[in-house]
Amino acid sequence: MVSVQDLRLPDGRVLRVHDSAPVPGVAGDSGATGEWGDLGGYDPHGEPAPARLTVLWQHGSPQTGALLNPLLVAAAQRDIRLVSYGRPSYGGSTPMPGRTVASAAADVAAVLDALQLDRVAVMGASGGGPHALASAALLPDRVMAAACLAAIAPFDADGLDFFAGMASDGALRAARAGRPAREHYQATAEFDPASFVERDYAALKGDWASLGADVGEASAAGPDGLIDDDMAFVVPWGFDVATIRVPVLIVQGGRDRVVPPGHGAWLARAIPNAQLWDCADDGHISILTECAPALDWLLAHS
């Protein structure tokens, strides 16, 4: 069972939060939602027993923020509590015009406050990776460790040929030209099948079929979240990854054509205390099979 709650922030925005430790009285999996109001937390008389670790998941681009079944199964097997939220303009969360990657840290802090969580690990995949790193950099007293799978590197990464190896780089190139250009690109954008390798397609037909469905749901709701993510990726992130002091795991597919291997290698060099798992045969989706081992790594390093 997963609870779904709308968290109202002081600035009037709403974040839709998903939690594998159900809120008492709120339906899970059925899609029903409740509200906390202004940073209200759990009923202290109804809290679930503490898990070994709570991991806050940062979803990819585009996704709704819902916790997908492979993650839930892997977490349950390890007695890990999973929490996630839709970034602004995704999955029921309200927009935040002009947001940066660093903006995620304040939203994460608000979610942790609402759930009365002092310290967590963070984990993100693809477009969620930079946002997980933002929490690690800017919330050092609350984030114990971070794991990133297929995470994009900063656009201004020194010595990195940012676009090298991308099967389709039009969206990010358009974002560099400004939001109107990125919106114009989106109007006719189509998925390039060459972005994925055979193992990616196999994963989408197998254990990670729920990912394809979630991407479809997020896309049907409109492109604003995806465009906002891309705009945030190609400007300064608002923090320096070199300031991260907690342990960080970088998991990178050697055949990734969406976020090429150079990005993972650069992050692993730039972040102190970072460890790189180089998965030579994996692409952008099949790398998600490493989520379960990455949870083990987080348990060991938190």
Q: Is the pLDDT of residue 221 over 50?
A: yes
The pLDDT score that the predictor gives to residue 33 is 47
Structure tokens at 88: 């602004």
Instruction: Please tell me the pTM assigned to this model.
Output: 0.92
- Decide if 29 contacts 22 (C-beta within 8 A): no
Buried b (16+ CB within 10 A) or exposed e, 134-169: bbbbbbeebbbbbbbbbbbbbbebeebebeebbebe
Q: Where are the domains of the chain?
A: 3-301
Architecture of domain 3-301: 3-Layer(aba) Sandwich (3.40)
Under 8 Å between Cβ of 255 and 282:
yes
Residue 47: band (very low, low, confident or very high) from pLDDT cuts 50, 70, 90: low
Model pLDDT for residues 225-265, shown as the tens digit of each residue: 999 999 999 999 999 999 999 999 999 999 999 999 999 99
Instruction: Give the mean pLDDT of the chain.
Output: 93
177-207 pLDDT per residue, tens:
999 999 999 999 999 999 999 999 999 999 9
pLDDT in tens, 107-156: 999 999 999 999 999 999 999 999 999 999 999 999 999 999 999 999 99
Q: Any idea how long the chain is? A: 302
Q: What is the pLDDT of residue 270?
A: 98
> 26 pLDDT band (50/70/90 cuts)?
very low
- The answer to whether the CB of 16 falls within 8 A of the CB of 6 is yes
Residue 22 confidence class, pLDDT cut points 50, 70, 90: low
